[in-house]
Structure 1
Amino acid sequence: MTGAAVYLLLGLSLLVATVLPLATQRIALSPPMVLVGVGMLFGLLPMADEVSLDPRDHRDLVVHVTEFTVLVALMGVGLAIDRHLHLRSWRSIRTWSPVWRLLLVTMPLTIGAMTLIGWWVAGLAPAIALLLGAVLAPTDPVLASDVQVGEPITEDVAEAEEDDGVEEDDDIRFALTAEAGLNDGLAFPFVHLALLLLAGGFTALDAGAWIGWYVLGKIAAGVAVGLVVGWLLGRQAFHTRVETLRLADAGEPLLALAALLASYGAAELVGGYGFLAVFVCAMRLRASDRGHSYQRAMHGVVDRLERLMTLLVLLVLGMAMTQGLLSDLDWRGVLLALALLLVVRPLTGYAAVRLFCRDEREEGGLDRGEMAAVAFFGVRGVGSLFYLAYAGAHEHLPDEPWLWSTVAFTVIASVLLHGVTATPAMARIDARRGRSTSVG
C-alpha cells in the first residue's frame, strides 16, 4: 500500500468520522457500525493484501494502540461524570448504588458464567475459559458513547442545559459510564489469574498471593496514585497562588493528557493498575473545581483524541475481518458471544440492580425500564481486544487464533446489536422520563 493511498484512505476516514456523529443522531445506526463497515470495504481493496493484519504478527503494536485508546476513553469519561462521590459520606456513596452493584455482582457473575460455559459447553481448558471470561467481562468506555454521559456540565452552560430540558444527571447513562470507567481496571486480577494458571504450578500459597497482591494490593495502589496525581494537578490548575501557573485561567487543556500519562506511568511503576489510576485521577481532577469551564476544554481535547484512536482501531478491525480475522470462528465462538450479549449480561445485570434496589425516586434509584436498559447495554469493545493482546504477549495461549476470532466476533456483534438498539431505546426512555416530569 503506497504512502499516497494511505493518506487518502486516512483522510476519507477522518471525514467520515467527523460527519458520522451528526448524521446518525436520529437513526438507529451508530458511528462504530459505519466505521467497521468502512474498514471492511478498505480491506477488500487489492492494496490491503500487502499488509498483514494478523494481531499475532503485531503483538506489541496491538497492545499499545488498544491500551492508549482505552486510557484516553477513561480520562474522558472520568472528566464527564458530574455526580459527586465523597467517600466519607454514606449518602454520597449510596447515589452510586447501581455502579457498585454492576461491579461487585454483575462482573464476577459474568466472568464465572462465561468460564463455565466455555469449559462445560465449548470444551475449553479451564484456564483458557477463565481468560476468555475475564477478557469479555468488562464493558467498554470507547464504543458506548450512545449510552454514556456527554460533556461535563459546568456553571457557564448549566442554566442553558436546564432551559433546553436536558437531563443533567441521568441515572442510566451515569451507571453505564461509571461502570465502564471502573471495570476495565477490575478485570485485570482475573486476567492475571488465568495467566498464572496457564503458567502451571498454581498452589494454595499462590492463591493467597493473588488475592493479596493482584486483587487488593494493585487495586489499592492504582486508586491511591490516581487520587494523589489528580489532587496535585487539580491544585496546580485551579488553586495555585502563582497566577501565571494556573492553567485553568490560561485555558491550556493539554493538562488532561499530562494527567493521563502521569497517573498511568506512576501507577504502573509502583505495580498498581494504571487503568484505575487514570479514571480515578480524572474524577479527582474534575472534583477540584466542577463548575469551571476549563473542565469542558480538557474534555474536548480528550474527546477529539478518543475519536481519532477509535477511528484507527475500528478501521483496522474492519479490515482485519475481511483479511481472515474471523477464519477460525466456529459454533463455540458464536455461542459464547450470543450467550454473553443476550443472556449472561442481561440476567446478571438485571439481578444486580433489581435486588434490594433504591427507591426509583431517589438519586441512584432506577425503575424497571431503566434497570432493563442498564442490564442490556453492556457494550464490549476495545478493552477486550487489549486484554487478549496483553495475555498473548505475556504467555503462550493455546488456540490463540480461535480466541482472536471469538473476541473479535463478540465485539462486532456488540457493536451491531447495541448500535441498532441504543438510539431508539434511549430516546424512548428519555421521552417517558420527560412525560413523567411534566406530569409531576
Structure 2
Amino acid sequence: MAMAPSTTTGASGAGAPTQTYGRALALLASLFFMWGFITVINNTLLPHLRSVFDLNYTQTTLIESVWFIAYFVAAIPSAKLIERVGYKKSLVIGLLTMAAGALGMTLAASIPSYGVTLTMLFVIAAGITLLQVAANPYVAVVGSPETSSSRLNLVQAMNSAGTMLAPSFGAWLILGRSVGGTAKEGTMLTPAERLADAQSVILPYVLVAAVLVVLAVVIARFKLPDMGAASRRAAAEERRHHSLWRHRNLVFGVPAIFIYLIAEIGVANLFVNFVSQRDIADITHEQAGHYLTFLWGGMMVGRFLGSAIMTKIRAETVLAAFSVGAFVVMLVATFASGETAMWALISVGLFHSIMFPTIFTLGIRGLGTLTEEGSGLLIMAIAGGALVVVQGWLADRYGLQLSFLLTAACEVYILFYALWGAKPTNAVEDVRPGEA
C-alpha cells in the first residue's frame, strides 16, 4: 500500500550534498510556516462563523471536523499524485489548491453560505494534506536517524511560528473588523450586521491566496532534490517480506497521532469562546484572539527547546514529561476559574509543542523500507482532529469547561505511548534518501 512519498533509498544517500538538503529544508520550513498559519486562522474564524451563522458548539466544531476529514480523504490520492508527477510538482499543486480554496472563501463570504464555507475549507485542507504527506517524512529521514525527532521538531517550530502569528492576523482582520468580534459573548446580531461580518473575511483570504501563489512560483523555480524514485522501485521486492503490523511503535503511534490531534484542535478551536466567558476572563472575542497568540507562541518555544533537549535526552523521556505537564494544566483549566483557568489553558501549548513531531519520528523509527507506508498512515491519523466535534457535543451537553476533560484523557494515552507503545519491535536498519 503506497501511501506516502518514498523516504528510502540505497547507498547513494551517504554522498548527498548536505548543503543541497540544507537549502531544501529551509524552503520546506516556509511551507510548514504557511500551513500552520492557515490552519490556525480557523481558531479565529470559528467563533466568527458561530456568530455569523448563529451556530451551537456542535455545529461550530463540525467546521473543523470537515477540515480534518480532508486529511483522511486526501492522503492516499496525494501519495498517488506524488508518485505520478513527482515531489516538486506536487508541492506546487498543493499550494495552488490551497490558493483556490482561499479565493473560494471570498465567494462563501459574499453569499454568505455555511455550506460553501465548509466546501472551501475542505479544499484548503486537501492542499495542506498534499504538502504534509510529502514534507514530514522527508524532513524526518534527511540526516541521522538518531536526531530525526530533534530535526523535525526544529522545522515544526516554523510551523508554530505561523500558528503564533495567525491569531493576531485573524483577530485584527476578521474579529476586529466585525460587530460579533468586538461585542461581548452572547450579543445578538441583526441580519445586516451578520452580512457585514461575513464579508469581513474577504480581505484576509485574498492576502493568503496571493502569498500562496507567490510561494508556488518560488517552489516551481527551485531545484529541489528528488526523493529517489529509482530506489523506491528497488526496495519494492524487499518490502514484501516485512509487515507494518509487526512494529509496535507504529501500531500504537497511529492512534497516538489521532488522539493527540483531538487534544490540540479541541483546545485551539474552543479557546476564544472559553476565555470570553464571564467567569474566565470576560473579554471580547477580538481580545481573546490576541491571547491565543500566547498559546501558539508557547508551542513554538517548546519546539525549539524540545529540539535542543532531545540532542541529550531520549525523545520518549521528553514526550512522557510533556504529557504529564499537559495533563496537569488541563485539570487546572477544567476545574479552576478566572485568569488561573485561562493561563492554564494557554500553557498547554508549551506541553503540546513536541508531541506531533516526536510521535511521528518515534512511529517510523526502525521501519526501514516500510517507512513510506508508515508515514502515510501517520499522516492519515491527523484526521483525528475531525473528532473535535465530540468535544463540541460535550460542551453543549455538559458545559464548555468540563468538555476539556476529554483533552486530559488524551494526554494519558500519549503518556502510555511514550512509556511503552513507542518501544520499537522488529526494527530494521534506517536508511536515508539520496539525490536522484
TM-score bracket relative to the smaller structure: 0.3 to 0.5
Q: TM-score w.r.t. structure 1 length? A: 0.32
Q: TM-score w.r.t. structure 2 length? A: 0.32
